[in-house]
Amino acid sequence: MAQGMRQGYSGLQILLHWTIALLVLFQLIFGESMGEVAEALEHGETPDASEQFLADAHYWVGIAILVLVGLRVILRVTQGAPAPIGSGPQLLIAKAIHGIFYLLLIAVPVTGLLAVYVDEEIGEIHEIGKPLFIAFIVLHVLGALFHHFKLKDETLRRMFVPGR
Ligand code: HEM
Ligand code: HEM
């Protein structure tokens, strides 16, 4: 994907980054209601109304993430994105984590859809997304804070302020 074509992210790229980040956090915190509702229905019970609401939200928020990530990838290819600041192994790690995020942001909702429409066993694979997302978010946030407070570079600022 195009990298280094620009110095900063566009306003729309920044808006998408933070919107998707918030939606992913919502999915990670409330995802369990999806399984709870399926289990209640299997046992012939009526799911709790709030549980049902959260499960419906999980479905639609998950699909929204997939659509927004599609838009984000198109923007990245057409407008480009700045290369992570740094060199050597540090640059490679940042690039790898960003690449893994794009993979997860596509594979996790797709396996969710497959679990609903094709085979519920795929839900087991979908659930692996949870610890993977959490681990990479922790690394990603630590990286961002390290850049901001230790290296004192533009990394965190440019994910808030649009640039060319
Ligand atoms: C679910 C949560 C998150 C996901 C999935 C995510 C994903 C990503 C991805 C894929 C990129 C690379 C963008 C590109 O070049 O195309 C990125 C960049 C960035 N993210 Fe996140 N992010 C999340 C949360 C956060 C949080 C909480 C912070 C702040 C503490 C943060 C700070 C940054 C910064 C500063 C960059 C820019 C890095 C650079 O310019 O080299 N992200 N994020
Ligand atoms: C980035 C998007 C998504 C994230 C981060 C996510 C995350 C999660 C999490 C954390 C759980 C609970 C796992 C557990 O109980 O340990 C879950 C369960 C589930 N999600 Fe998602 N999800 C996403 C998108 C979707 C989509 C788009 C669908 C379907 C339309 C979906 C369908 C399901 C189903 C069916 C379960 C229950 C799986 C089972 O019990 O076997 N998810 N998801």
Nearest CA to ligand 2 atom 28: 112
Count of beta carbons in the 10 Å neighbourhood of residue 36: 15
- Among 140, 141, 148, 158, say which to mutate for ligand 1: greatest number of ligand atoms within 8 Å of CB: 140
Q: What pLDDT, on a 0 to 100 scale, did the predictor assign at position 151?
A: 94
Query: Which pair of structure tokens corresponds to residue 145?
Result: 């804070």
Residue range 100-131, pLDDT digits in tens: 999 999 999 999 999 999 999 999 999 999 99
The average pLDDT across 130-155 equals 97
Ligand 2 center to residue 66 CA distance, Å? 13
H or E element that contains 141: helix 122-145
Ligand 2 center to residue 59 CA distance, Å? 8
- Computed over every residue of the chain, the mean pLDDT equals 95
3-class secondary structure, 97: helix
- Among 23, 29, 34, say which to mutate for ligand 2: greatest number of ligand atoms within 8 Å of CB: 34
Domain regions of the chain by residue span: 11-159
Ligand 1 center to residue 42 CA distance, Å? 39
- pLDDT confidence bin for 27, thresholds 50/70/90: very high
Provide the residue count of the chain. 164
User: DSSP for 104-138?
Assistant: HHHHHHHHHHHHHHT-TTHHHHHHHHHHHHHHHHH
Residue range 33-73, pLDDT digits in tens: 999 999 999 999 999 999 999 999 999 999 999 999 999 99
Q: What pLDDT, on a 0 to 100 scale, did the predictor assign at position 6?
A: 86
H or E element that contains 88: helix 88-117
**Does any ligand 2 atom lie closer than 6 A to the CB of residue 36?**
no
